[in-house]
């Protein structure tokens, strides 16, 4: 009886958390008309296997050069792919530096809040579910755009951030680097109730870094030994949807994958954010940006009212992430 009551409480809490996320992430309209190669978002109806039943949208700037980078952008709960691509600044950056965007989109048929299923093994195991669909989108986009297969990246917000980390773990042989904004570590949950628990409270450090790393390794190719993708992690100190402690756990997980100790990072403190970097033999491998005054959302450099889960805090996550990846 007690267990049944706890499950009901957890489910009510999950619905509340998802409503909170949806309230700050209202859907936006698709940009432009479906015309290939003219600098608008278009739908790609056929892209191969689609076990996760996701929609594929793409943005390619004018005069996209061959062998350009490819970025997968994963929206948060309640958002649409094209609106998030505009408001986060990724479309502007794609035009500025010449890169293609893959914009997977969740449907309300799959999830009523339009959240990616980062907490379900059926959607995060290599070759299955939603990560299998996104992998097929990458293959199709590389073919269409003649993209550089060595410069494929993924970034996401909230549920999209947790799914981005899952993709990096499942396909470390596909992605060169990634970014998680208000996300969670790989393997943090195995269902809706445990997802709620880790969103609300990251909890005490109940696993050493190597145990967290093992959860990520188990999702990747058999006998894969690296290199692992580099990771940029972002979180607001006032986030009441996803506990900011998850950023620390994700950093510990990814440092362990890279064989880096977490004891002596490089730390820089600015007016807006605290920036922590861990390096390996090749350069910066893991970084964490903490913005103490920011709530749940994606940071941008603008000023004014928050729009669709994108928060104007005076710092562009998009530019900083692209720089960390070596695109700027």
Domains of the chain: 2-325 (3.40.50.1820)
Q: Which helix or strand (DSSP H or E) is residue 22 part of?
A: helix 2-23
pLDDT at residue 225, rounded to an integer = 87
Residue 223's CB is within 10 A of a number of other CB atoms, namely 5
pLDDT tens, the chain, 328 aa long: 333 443 343 334 334 333 333 333 333 334 433 444 557 899 999 999 999 999 999 999 988 999 999 999 999 999 999 999 999 999 999 999 999 999 999 999 999 999 999 999 999 999 999 999 999 999 999 999 999 999 999 999 999 999 999 999 999 999 999 999 999 999 999 899 999 988 998 865 678 999 999 999 999 999 898 899 999 999 999 999 999 999 999 999 999 999 998 777 888 888 899 999 999 989 999 999 999 999 999 999 975 666 678 999 999 999 999 999 999 9
Cα→Cα distances 321→33, 84, 134, 150, 203, Å: 29, 16, 21, 17, 27
Angle between helix axes 317-325 and 90-97 (nearest 10 degrees) is: 50
Backbone angles phi, psi at 140, to 5 degrees: -65, -40
Q: Which of 228, 252, 222, 54 is nearest to 125 (CA)?
A: 222
Q: What is the DSSP letter of 64?
A: P
Omega into 202 within 30° of 0, i.e. cis? Answer: no
Cα→Cα distances 144→37, 83, 115, 136, Å: 10, 23, 27, 12
Provide the CA 109 distance to its chain's centre, in angstroms: 21
pLDDT at residue 303, rounded to an integer = 59
pLDDT at residue 226, rounded to an integer = 84
Backbone angles phi, psi at 232, to 5 degrees: -105, 130
CB proximity list for 118: less than 8 A, separation 6 or greater: 124, 159, 162, 163, 165, 166, 184, 189, 195
pLDDT at residue 131, rounded to an integer = 98
Q: Which of 118, 87, 83, 126 is nearest to 103 (CA)?
A: 83
Q: Which of 295, 167, 153, 293 is nearest to 232 (CA)?
A: 153
Backbone angles phi, psi at 311, to 5 degrees: -110, 125
pLDDT at residue 271, rounded to an integer = 84
Three-class SS state of 116: coil
Q: For the whole model, what pTM was predicted? A: 0.88
The residues carrying an active-site annotation are 158
């Amino acid at each position: 009886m007690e267990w049944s009551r706890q499950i009901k409480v957890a489910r009510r809490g999950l619905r509340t958390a998802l409503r909170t996320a949806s309230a700050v992430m209202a859907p936006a309209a698709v940009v432009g008309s479906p015309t290939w190669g003219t600098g608008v978002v278009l739908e790609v109806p056929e892209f191969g296997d689609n076990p996760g039943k996701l929609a594929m949208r793409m943005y390619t700037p004018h005069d996209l050069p061959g062998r350009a980078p490819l970025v997968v952008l994963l929206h948060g709960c309640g958002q649409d792919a094209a609106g998030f691509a505009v408001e986060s600044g990724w479309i502007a950056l794609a035009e500025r530096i010449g890169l293609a965007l893959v914009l997977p989109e969740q449907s309300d048929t799959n999830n009523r809040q339009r959240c990616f299923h980062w907490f379900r093994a059926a959607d995060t195991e290599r070759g299955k579910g939603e990560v299998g669909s996104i992998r097929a989108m990458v293959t199709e986009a590389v073919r269409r755009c003649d993209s550089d297969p060595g410069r494929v990246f993924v970034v996401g917000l909230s549920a999209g951030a947790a799914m981005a980390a899952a993709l990096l773990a499942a396909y470390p042989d596909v992605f060169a680097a990634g970014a998680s904004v208000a996300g969670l570590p790989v393997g943090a949950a195995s269902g809706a109730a445990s997802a709620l628990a880790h969103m609300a409270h990251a909890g005490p450090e109940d696993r050493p870094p190597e145990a967290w790393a093992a959860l990520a390794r188990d999702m990747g190719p058999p006998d894969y030994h690296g290199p692992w993708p580099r990771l940029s992690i972002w979180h607001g100190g006032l986030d009441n949807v996803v506990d900011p402690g998850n950023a620390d756990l994700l950093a510990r997980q990814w440092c362990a994958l890279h064989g880096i100790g977490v004891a002596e990072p490089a730390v820089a403190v600015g007016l807006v954010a605290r920036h922590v970097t861990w390096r390996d033999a090749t350069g910066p491998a893991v970084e964490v940006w903490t913005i103490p005054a920011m709530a749940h959302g994606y940071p941008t450099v603008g000023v004014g009212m928050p729009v669709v889960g994108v928060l104007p805090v005076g710092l562009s996550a998009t530019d900083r992430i692209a720089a960390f990846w070596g695109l700027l």
